[in-house]
Amino acid sequence: MSHMAPPKRPLAPHKPAQSARPSLHATGYTRPMAILCDLPQGDLEGLTAVIAPLANALALPILGTTTFDAALAADPADPRAVAAAMAEAAAAFDALIPLGVSSIGLAPRLNGEPAWAPPVRRAIELQARLLAVDARGPAGAAIGDIVRASPVPVVVAGHRVAPPPATSRIVVLGDGSPESLAIGPALSALLAGTRVQVDLLAISIPVLGERTEDHELELARGLEALEAAMPGVAVATRRVEPARSFESVAAAAHRVAVATEAACVALATHGRGRALRFLLGSVADSLVRTSSVPLLLVRSTAPAP
């Protein structure tokens, strides 16, 4: 079991080239290499504070949008009323956009479209590098659907999240399964050439009938395979961490992430059911509900962004 390297000095905060509250739909900048944040109405600041350290580490600007549902704002049969309501909502959103975030305007909900779909569609249209959502807002009930539909990794601010320290480290959780390797190509596309340091982590839980040494060796080999799946990524450590008494995989991973001051915990999801725990996998589901550290989720069947 390797020891964690001391965190490096955090990168200087990324400074947007535009004014404090630039609007991208006004500047004509239409293909950002950026993080798109789905900002819940009523709390535009919370998700921004959570995502800022990761954005700084990746030197990516933060774009902001919010869902606009015409059926809730006006009579859908009256185009003028819908247009007026949308213009009013867009003006209010741009006026309240947090400092350091560039507005791309609203994400209108199309007819027949699920409520969670507009930000995913906007991320695809803008070719964003990441999509950030807040589980504490309306998107919380659809995190599994968003991760499953998104072609890019999804950063999730969980129910108990707190703004992480300014750091350029990411903890990547693996378990040696083929599904867990899916995060490798996604992180390679996202992190290659950056100064972000990655700590690969596997949690060892005692298995009935299996020697602890054999189980930890199997996990260590899984981390070697995970590192091989992310060429160009600066892997600082590979660590097999024994879980403490009555500690779950999610709780142990969260403990290590907090201790190492990680900007986020990254993992692949591999659920197949309709319930959140099956859409994400039990570990990811538990982390969404309990982690104070943001999560970076990649669906196990998703191609690299």
Domain ranges of the chain: 24-157, 169-299
Q: b/e per residue, 216-243, with b = 16+ CB within 10 A?
A: bebbbebbeebbebbeebbbbbbbbbeb
pTM of the predicted protein model: 0.84
CA distances from 210 to 51, 213, 239, 261, 302 (A): 40, 9, 20, 33, 33
CA distances from 174 to 23, 84, 221, 241 (A): 39, 49, 11, 11
Question: What local confidence, expressed as pLDDT, does residue 24 receive?
Answer: 44
Does domain 24-157 bear CATH number 3.40.50.620? Answer: yes
pLDDT tens-digit profile, the chain (305 residues): 444 444 443 434 443 334 344 444 443 434 447 999 999 877 888 999 999 999 999 999 999 999 999 888 888 889 999 999 999 999 999 999 998 999 999 999 998 899 999 999 999 999 999 999 999 888 888 998 999 999 999 999 999 999 888 888 999 999 888 888 889 999 999 998 888 999 999 999 887 777 889 989 999 999 999 999 999 999 999 999 999 999 999 999 999 999 999 999 999 986 433 334 444 578 888 999 999 999 999 987 644 44
Question: What local confidence, expressed as pLDDT, does residue 43 receive?
Answer: 81
Specify the CATH number for 169-299; select among 3.30.110.30, 3.40.50.620, 3.50.50.60, 2.60.40.10.
Answer: 3.40.50.620
Structure tokens given for 151 = 């072609």
Chain Cα centroid distance, residue 268: 11
Structure tokens given for 268 = 């692949």
Chain Cα centroid distance, residue 284: 12
Question: What local confidence, expressed as pLDDT, does residue 116 receive?
Answer: 93
Could you check whether 24-157 and 169-299 share the same CATH topology?
A: yes
Helix (H) and strand (E) counts for the chain?
A: 11, 10
